[in-house]
Amino acid sequence: MSQPQPIRLNKFLAERLGLSRREADEIISAGKVKIDGQTAQLGARVDFSSKVWYNGNIIPFDTDYLYIAFNKPVGYVCSRRAQGSAPTIYDLLPAKYLQLKTVGRLDKDSSGLIILTNDGDFAYQMTHPKFHKEKIYEVELDRSLEPLHQQMISDYGIMLDDGPSKFTVVASAGGATGGTPAARRRIPRTVGESVATGPAERIYFTVILSEGRNRQIRRTFAALGYRVTALHRTQFGPYQLASLAPGKCEPVTKV
């Protein structure tokens, strides 16, 4: 059997440490990586015979990639460290998955589908805007969305501090003033809430976007005077939340 061909060091580190290639270049530039006892340089290549060191550990050339779907509950953060009183999703993950990194994030007040992996290339392809990975959310608002505002967001975009924000907004099944009881139960609003229930006047929409800027959906609606009272991601690229329970995870196949 032929041995694997040499590959660029940043690609090697990204794939095995769950980093982006930019992050891999940063730790190389900082002198934190060694190849066969010598400090590595940007642009270096490694092969099966290379001994690559990072943080005092040898990184094996061969590795097993893991891909996990996780249903994030409201109230948890996606960082490895708790933020104030907010716990981290890593408190809920089995020990065998604690080394995985999240592919993008959901903020503390949001819930739904998170993908975790140790495959940096996969994470890059899922999150970089040029790949246009579609994400779908169920979003609840504090009041009815004016048709003109819905059209502005979907057709023209809303200018935010970090540039225009444009995504598709669709009234969820049953209309924009509550929808069917089954649909209303999809969106958790509080910590530990797995099935959100409420009066029929709850206002929710389906949001479809291919970007992933920080709190983009919340900021876009806020720019028009609305408050997002619940936000729940149901799909990320080809991956769907389906019936996965809040706080639970399951392996998925790379698509």
- Blockwise average pLDDT, block size 10, the chain, 255 residues: 75 80 91 93 91 88 87 94 89 91 93 93 87 94 94 96 95 49 51 49 86 92 96 96 94 93
In the chain, ranges of CATH 3.30.70.1560 domains: 131-240
Distance CA 83, CA 76 (A): 9
Angle at 33 between CA 24 and CA 61, to 5 degrees: 80
Residue 3: other Cβ atoms inside 10 A:
9
3-state DSSP helix/strand/coil % of the chain, to nearest 5: 20, 30, 50
* pLDDT computed for residue 166 by the predictor: 95
Tell me what pLDDT residue 78 has: 94
Q: In angstroms, rounded to a whole number, what is the distance separating the alpha carbons of residues 207 and 231?
A: 10
pLDDT at position 6 is: 86
How many angstroms separate the CA atoms of 115 and 252, rounded?
A: 9
CATH match of 131-240 with 3.30.365.10: no
pLDDT attached to residue 189 = 66
Q: Where in the chain is the domain with CATH 3.10.290.10?
A: 7-59
Give the model's pLDDT for residue 171.
84
* Number of Cβ atoms within 10 Å of the Cβ of 95: 7
Query: What integer pLDDT is reported at residue 152 of this predicted model?
Result: 96
Q: What is the pLDDT of residue 17?
A: 78
pLDDT number for residue 30: 94
Q: What is the CATH number of domain 7-59?
A: 3.10.290.10
Pick the CATH number of 67-127+243-251 from 3.40.50.1370, 3.30.420.60, 3.30.1240.10, 3.30.70.580: 3.30.70.580
